[in-house]
Amino acid sequence: MKRTLSSPRPGWQDIIKRQGLLFSRTVKADGGEIQYWNEGAYYEFSPAEVEMLENVTEELHRMCLAAARHLATGEMGTLGIGAEALALAAASLEQEDPAVYGRFDLAYDGVRPPKMLEYNADTPTGLIEASIVQWYWLQDVKPENDQWNGIHEALIAAWTKQAASQGGSGTLHVAHTEVEESGEDWLTAAYMRDVADQAGWNTVGINMSDIGWDHERKLFVDLDEQPIRTMFKLYPWELMMREEFGRQVLAHPSTVRWYEPAWKMLLSNKALLAALWKLYPDHPNLLPAYLDEPHGLSEWVAKPLHGREGDNIVVFTADGTYSQPGNYGAEGWCYQQWYPLPDFDGNHPVLGTWVVDGQSVGVGVRESDGYITDYFCRFVPNIIDAPAPDLSRP
């Protein structure tokens, strides 16, 4: 693995906008600007590294399913979601409700074994840039090379499989929250709707706040009063469970087939890290992690169980303590061993390895100036040091 400087394409800003990446520019608190999409460099992997990372990702996914079953017992508490929500997640896991996708965050420097930082398994974003935008960058800049990226095709195949499991084409409602400022959630939901359309679904877009409950028919409905039977929602389960909407889900759990399913509450929760370490101590791809306190760790990162985008993370090292602001933490904490991100000339990458239908299908690399990957990170494309296959992308 190495980082190589590259010349940005002329007019790249307009190019990525046409491909759906409308939220590239980030304004920092001090008034400075960061371009989220950064094609001034790329990361290069060898075929052997890709094969290793694919195997690690799929093994971690299987381990996470085992850890979810452990969390579902309640032995490690109610995970900040409450007993009713935990019971819903446990029942969903027991009946093997189908899932589509997720994204691991791994620390890897090309030398040491990759280490799992967390699993974004409920509402992962970063999808358009990983699946579409970097693929077209490859065609323009490095067409002679391959890329670790089969995300688009895998998503279509997964939605085709889900349609077949329900007897063929049906209606899929695709929901997101309208209050997210960057537009990333809306665009991610729109992309998921596109791949589901290509898989044969009849998709209907809707805001989460526009979903209604029909008390007489005891089912959720859209703005046209049509029943919602199958839904992809880009909205965290733990938030749903705290709202009136969630009360109806708890009372009527079988009215909707959810993507992602309720058992993803167990994987998106940072308590997963502690459960993994309990089940697989000293695994080469895991970091020691515990609930409630550091348990003897000399340097650690405190992560709120429901935290996102680096909010409220506390880093305690021999060099001092650093914390991020945010609104999480009341739900509880997980303490994970401090593991500095790799340093490539001052750039600190995290590998977002994508899982679709249980298979490792691609990577998105985000890098930051510091050791916390937050709202001001940059997405950098990747290549494989191997010839490009004869493929086309619709």
pLDDT tens by residue, 270-305: 999 999 999 999 999 999 999 989 999 999 999 999
| pLDDT tens for each residue of 125-145 | 999 999 999 999 999 999 999
At 144 the pLDDT is 96
pTM of the model: 0.94
Clarify whether residues 243 and 294 are in a common domain. no
Number of domains in the chain: 2
Whether the per-residue pLDDT at 391 is higher than 60: the answer is no
Is residue 80 a part of any domain in this protein?
yes
Q: Where are the beta strands (DSSP E) in 145-185?
A: 145-146, 171-176
Mean pLDDT computed over 210-223: 95
Clarify whether residues 46 and 185 are in a common domain. yes
Is residue 328 a part of any domain in this protein?
yes
Mean pLDDT computed over 155-161: 97
Phi, psi of 300 (to 5 degrees): -155, 165
pLDDT over 70, % of the chain: 93
Is residue 90 a part of any domain in this protein?
yes
Among 337, 356, 372, which residue terminates a domain?
337
| pLDDT tens for each residue of 11-56 | 999 999 999 888 766 666 566 677 899 999 999 999 999 999 999 9
Tell me the average pLDDT of the chain: 92
Q: Is 79 left (phi over 0), alpha (psi -120 to 50) or beta?
A: left
Is residue 276 a part of any domain in this protein?
no
Clarify whether residues 145 and 263 are in a common domain. yes
Residue 307 structural domain = 288-337
At 393 the pLDDT is 53
Whether the per-residue pLDDT at 351 is higher than 80: the answer is yes
Q: How confident is the model at residue 392 (pLDDT cuts 50, 70, 90)?
A: low
Q: How confident is the model at residue 59 (pLDDT cuts 50, 70, 90)?
A: very high
Is residue 311 a part of any domain in this protein?
yes
Q: Strand 171-176 vs strand 230-234: parallel, antiparallel, or unpaired?
A: parallel
Is residue 393 a part of any domain in this protein?
no
Mean pLDDT computed over 73-96: 96
Is residue 172 a part of any domain in this protein?
yes
Is residue 133 a part of any domain in this protein?
yes
CB 246 within 8 A of CB 253: no
CA distance 156 to 260: 16
Clarify whether residues 92 and 122 are in a common domain. yes
* Residue with token string 């506390």: 314
The number of angstroms, rounded, from the C-alpha of 15 to the middle of its chain's C-alpha atoms is 25
